[in-house]
């Protein structure tokens, strides 16, 4: 935890330095320096937390569903070659597609509220998770399954004692990649038909030319990203002690 705090302070202070330096050399009110921005953040703290809470909730729900769906689906594709032959090509077709382009379709089918935004982020993350988990399953040495056959030929003991623990590093790595993409998708999704969320806050501040508020929203997104990364690091430290 000490290391994480040190890395946060180091990262944040270098970010502040670059930001301050850019604000000085550009000398443009659309890029205010860090200090008036922090002052504005303090004034807006209640509103900011409300918007950040809404964004965090959408990311958390989408990540949870993506893991709940992606983990068994990835295991299925990795473990059963017929399932992979059937769905693998579809996965590769969907993987490079920019899922954000589907936002209008999600809105038509799932409404303008939270559901369509969560589903959009879910669609972005889940394919990433499925591919990583499937590849993770393929990396488990075949000989390890024979160890499990020593004790039971049923699938559940293998899933519990072999597949799940072997996949934790792949899962965490895929979630790390997914968090960055999901924050970007969230920013996009929160620009439409919503009054809560950091994406909305940033764009509405921009239209009001309240640049301090706009940068406050950007800073909040960075903090959310850092928070989620820290949680993932902690999970990795706890569950992958052997590494």
Only one residue has tokens 């769906």, namely 69
Residues 59, 66: Cα–Cα separation, whole Å: 10
Chosen residue from 47, 108, 147, 177 binding other proteins by CB under 8 A: 147
Q: Which helix (H) or strand (E) holds 92?
A: helix 81-94
Residues 73, 84: Cα–Cα separation, whole Å: 10
User: Does residue 26 touch other proteins according to CB under 8 A?
Assistant: no
Inter-CA distances, 168 with 96, 121, 229, 240, Å: 24, 21, 15, 8
Only one residue has tokens 């969320």, namely 197
Chosen residue from 8, 12, 102, 144 binding other proteins by CB under 8 A: 144
Report whether 70 contacts 123 (CB < 8 A). Answer: no
Beta-strand ranges (E) seen in 41-106 are: none
Nearer to other proteins, 16 or 140 (CB): 140
Site for other proteins (CB under 8 A): how many residues?
18
User: Does residue 31 touch other proteins according to CB under 8 A?
Assistant: no
Only one residue has tokens 């929203």, namely 217
Site map 192..221 versus other proteins, x via CB under 8 A: ------------------------------
Chosen residue from 82, 143, 207, 238 binding other proteins by CB under 8 A: 143
Closest distance of CB 162 from other proteins, Å: 7
Nearer to other proteins, 34 or 169 (CB): 169
Residues 145, 151: Cα–Cα separation, whole Å: 10
Nearer to other proteins, 53 or 165 (CB): 165
Nearer to other proteins, 93 or 156 (CB): 156
Report whether 220 contacts 40 (CB < 8 A). Answer: no
Closest distance of CB 145 from other proteins, Å: 10
Contacts of 133 (CB under 8 A, 6+ apart): 70, 71, 73, 74, 75, 77, 78, 167, 170, 171, 174
Nearer to other proteins, 120 or 163 (CB): 163
Token pair for 35: 């200090």
User: Does residue 242 touch other proteins according to CB under 8 A?
Assistant: yes
Chosen residue from 9, 90, 108, 240 binding other proteins by CB under 8 A: 240
Closest distance of CB 151 from other proteins, Å: 5
Show contacts with other proteins in window 148-167 (CB under 8 A). Answer: 149-152, 157, 161-162, 165-166
Chain residues in the site for other proteins (CB under 8 A): 141, 143-144, 146-147, 149-152, 157, 161-162, 165-166, 168, 240-242
């Amino acid at each position: 935890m000490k290391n994480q705090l040190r890395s946060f302070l180091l990262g944040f202070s270098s970010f502040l330095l670059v930001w301050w330096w850019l604000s000085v050399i550009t000398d443009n009110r659309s890029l205010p320096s860090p200090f008036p921005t922090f002052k504005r953040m303090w004034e807006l703290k209640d509103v900011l937390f409300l918007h950040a809470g809404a964004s965090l909730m959408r990311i958390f729900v989408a990540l949870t569903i993506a893991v709940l769906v992606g983990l068994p689906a990835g295991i299925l594709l990795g473990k059963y070659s017929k399932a992979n032959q059937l769905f693998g090509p579809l996965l590769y077709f969907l993987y490079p597609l920019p899922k954000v382009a589907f936002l209008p379709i999600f809105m038509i089918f799932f409404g303008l509220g939270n559901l369509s935004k969560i589903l959009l982020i879910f669609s972005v993350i889940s394919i990433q998770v499925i591919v990583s988990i499937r590849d993770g399953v393929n990396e488990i040495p075949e000989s390890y399954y024979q160890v499990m056959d020593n004790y039971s030929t049923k699938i559940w003991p293998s899933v519990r004692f072999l597949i799940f623990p072997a996949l934790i590093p792949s899962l965490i790595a895929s979630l790390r990649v997914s968090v960055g993409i999901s924050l970007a998708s969230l920013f996009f999704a929160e620009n439409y038909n919503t009054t809560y969320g950091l994406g909305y806050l940033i764009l509405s501040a921009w239209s009001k030319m309240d640049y301090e508020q706009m940068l406050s929203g950007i800073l909040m997104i960075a903090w959310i990203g850092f928070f989620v990364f820290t949680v993932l690091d902690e999970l990795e430290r706890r569950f992958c002690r052997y590494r």
